Structure 1
Amino acid sequence: MAQTFWQSYQAFLAQARLWAGESGERAVVDAVRRRARRDPEAFHAWVDENGWGRAYVERHLLYVVDHPEEVRELLRRGYPARRIPLRSLDRAALVAALTETDWRGAVDRLFGQSRRPRWANQRVWLFDSSPLLRRREGLAPSVAEALIEVVCPPGGFVVDPLAGSGEIVRAARATGRHAWGGDLRPSSTDVVRTDVVDLLQHVPEGSADALVLHPPTFESWAKTTEALVSAPLSEHYAAYLDAIVGFLQASRKVLKPEGVVVLIARPPRDSHVFLAPFELALGERGLTPVGYRLAVSRDGTEDWHFFIARPTKE
């Protein structure tokens, strides 16, 4: 069986102790580095004699002692050194990945290249709709995964307190994130039955990298809101926007100071489409819009607007 990188490193240290006349990992490595600077010919002869390869020793083995403890633990577990992106390492995310039952899979997802398809870099996304998606007012899986790739780093935590059938929760988990979803009337086992006003009972304050809000469309909301019965039609849409501000107020505290909020909306179906009120709703809760995406079904019958915002800096 081939040796792991960590086993090779231990074998290197054993020989280096004899050659350098030191004990203790740091002392041994520092002694080898000093001798390599003073007498490179002798150093290279020693490396060649042991058959390690000069670049392997100089670029890899001599630097293990300087690696963060999280990386050293990963190497101890047998993970290949060549697959660890040291320059872009997210130490907090790696700590979380190492605690997973399937830690290797979690680390692979953390270090893997982005799953974001090329079309996700565009401002307009096309997707295949279906009667079930339209009835549930849900997102196509491809759109949900692309959105998560845009707004949350690998290993991050996504919270969706209006999760419905759980498309966002499943997309986050499928792309190497952690996720929690809740809804008053969940239609999936991935979603907890709870009210958004009780969110802090389930999710710690300041813990979410991305807060995704997918409220009912105006049409669906208007059908189930008793408060509209006695209100004039001219006030119905304003009441809907007030409800969205209420959702933001109830959930805002779970967001990290540097986190991202996504408001998923579909304007009412009439002769005019107004998007500005959704941005104003974000602004009322101290959030500054920083991005926008539009998803449109290929048959032109369905569209979703994604308003991306961050906490306003004072």
Structure 2
Amino acid sequence: MPRTLLRTALLPAGLLAPLCAPPAGATGVPAGTVIENVATASYSNGSGTASVQSNKVSLRVDELLDVAVAGLASAPVPIAAGTAALPYAVTNSGNGPEAFALTAEAAVAGNPFTPTVQGIVVDSNDNGTYDPGVDTPLAPGAATPALAADAAARVFVLVGLPAGVADAATSQVRLTAAAVTGAGTPGTAFAGRGEGGVDAVVGATTARSAALAAVITRIGAVSLTKSAAIVDPFGGTRPLPGALVTYSLVARIVGSGSAEGVVVSDGVPTGTTYQPGTMKLDGAALTDAADSDAGSAGTAGISVALGTLLSGSADRTITFTVKIN
């Protein structure tokens, strides 16, 4: 993108003052500033005292290209289904307005899994929260708007979770920013490409910076345990014809995440008959009809909707009774 176009979107200094990581200070006098002075010599001679001025020396300050990237999350960002937004700050620590090309990389050495990079967005309303449809997505390979010296842009790297990842696994994502004007060895100059036509010179950061932020998986799974208690017609516990068998189904959430839309179903075993009105959830009776409560039951079997099970939530117990024919 031509430099003149980028400057039309210039972001003011101090834009993101509340960021957790303080922006690096801009380097010295603003680019394009004219520095000039005149020297004076005073003296005396036989005819009295006198002074004389030198010629004026003027120079224009070149633009220094520097940038700092910082991850803003104080802890790994949880990720399960959907998208996680990793926050970073990109700070122009040079002395003139500059735009920065951003690259997100999830294949970081040491990662137990590779998050799926879905895109990079600018926090347009600067509220620190990713707002789909409000925050501005950057096209692949695109740059930030031009940032004034000492200004920062908060950006989010959006990542998704690949299949087959274990619970509580942590991986890092690297965001790299590079000055659009150019990067490289400190002292490298780009003639006439600085603010107002001055030279642009690469600073100590090489005009490139990177930072890491992490995600941690929060995956929930459901375990289901079934048991049976028998009361036979003679007061014993043998599976005889006419015995009543009460099945207990215990649903438990495991892992650090949640499980949504949990439905437990069980068929009536061949050779038995469901006993109407015996279905319960956590000891509370459920109607057999498919109505407003969580369960339904009939000759074929039972079904109970448990909804969302959150990490650390109590076990849910379903019971129902059949008779051996």
Scaled to the shorter chain, the TM-score interval is under 0.3
Q: Give TM-score, length-normalised by structure 1.
A: 0.24
Task: Identify which of structures 1 and 2 has the higher relative contact order when contacts are C-alpha pairs closer than 8 Å and 6+ apart.
Answer: 2
Q: Which has the higher strand share?
A: 2
Larger radius of gyration: 2
